[in-house]
């Protein structure tokens, strides 16, 4: 499989991370972010969680701080839209997205799948596409009860150290989620191993995304 590099060591990359709930970004793209940082990429990250209150907000902020510890810059925002009711709050969430568009212009956006089985996830993805029309948007996957795992078309091979650090942080920060039968280290490591197998990742692990629109620039032979 031919690999295309979107960023390299020493490069600066602006990333907008969007998650409906306090652990979504970490589950879907945490190892990708950690691997970029591990490779020496200078990340400027806007980390936005749309539903968080009390314990979930504390978890979200503490986790984001640890994931972004080596980033060049990190802005963390946790909102309090009602969990499970995002479609019914569409106008308010749309207004927030419009305000977000005026203050960030990222190189890449990491967000939910547009056809995710969870209604909150779908709403975030729909408004991300509706708001950021000229950006690279990569849709991450979230394992859950619904069994709606996608067939991805873009893989981010990650180091074994990055995936294990991701799982360590998930387990240590999100105590409110440990009662969920699917929320455990085996789920996250197993999915990463499966995606790593699919893309022949050098260190056996990968995170997978849907990239619905990509624009590839021609190679400049003078470089």
As assigned by CATH, the class of the 12-210 domain is alpha beta
**Position 159 confidence tier, pLDDT thresholds 50, 70, 90:** very high
pLDDT at residue 222 in the model = 60
Range among 87-101, 141-155, 209-223 with highest mean pLDDT value: 87-101
Beta 73-78 vs 205-210: how paired, if at all?
A: unpaired
Do residues 165 and 176 touch, judged by C-beta distance below 8 A?
Answer: no
Q: Of the ranges 170-174, 181-185, 214-218, which one carries the lowest mean pLDDT score?
A: 214-218
Average pLDDT, integer, range 18-39: 97
Residue 219 has pLDDT above 70, yes or no: no
Q: Which CA distances in Å does 138 have to 26, 130, 210?
A: 14, 14, 6
Is 209's pLDDT higher than 80? yes
Q: Are 97 and 128 in contact (CB under 8 A)?
A: yes
pLDDT digits (tens, 9 = 90+) for 110-148: 999 999 999 999 999 999 999 999 999 999 999 998 888
Binning pLDDT at 50, 70 and 90, where does residue 1 land?
Answer: low
- At 99, list the tokens: 């305000």
pLDDT band at residue 220 under the 50/70/90 scheme = low
The token duo for 74 is 């990190």
Integer Cα distance of 6 and 21 in angstroms: 27
Domain boundaries, the chain: 12-210
Report whether 143 contacts 177 (CB < 8 A).
no
């Amino acid at each position: 499989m031919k690999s295309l590099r979107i960023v390299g060591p020493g490069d600066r990359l602006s990333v907008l991370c969007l998650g409906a709930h306090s652990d979504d970004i970490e589950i879907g793209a945490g190892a990708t972010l950690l691997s970029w940082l591990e490779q020496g990429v200078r990340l400027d990250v806007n980390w936005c969680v749309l539903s968080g209150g009390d314990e979930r907000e504390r978890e979200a902020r503490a986790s984001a701080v640890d994931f972004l510890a080596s980033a060049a810059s990190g802005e963390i925002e946790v909102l309090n839209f009602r969990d499970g009711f995002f479609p019914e709050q569409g106008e308010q969430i749309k207004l927030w997205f419009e305000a977000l568009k005026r203050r960030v212009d990222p190189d890449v956006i990491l967000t939910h799948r547009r056809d995710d089985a969870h209604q909150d996830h779908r709403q975030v993805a729909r408004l991300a596409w509706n708001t950021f029309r000229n950006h690279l948007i990569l849709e991450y996957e979230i394992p859950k009860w619904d069994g709606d795992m996608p067939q991805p078309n873009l893989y981010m091979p990650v180091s074994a150290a990055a995936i294990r650090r991701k799982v360590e942080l998930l387990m240590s920060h999100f105590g409110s989620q440990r009662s969920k039968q699917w929320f455990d280290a085996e789920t996250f490591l197993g999915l990463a191993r499966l995606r790593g197998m699919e893309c022949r990742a050098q260190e056996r692990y990968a995170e997978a995304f849907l990239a619905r629109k990509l624009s590839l620039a021609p190679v400049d032979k003078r470089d």
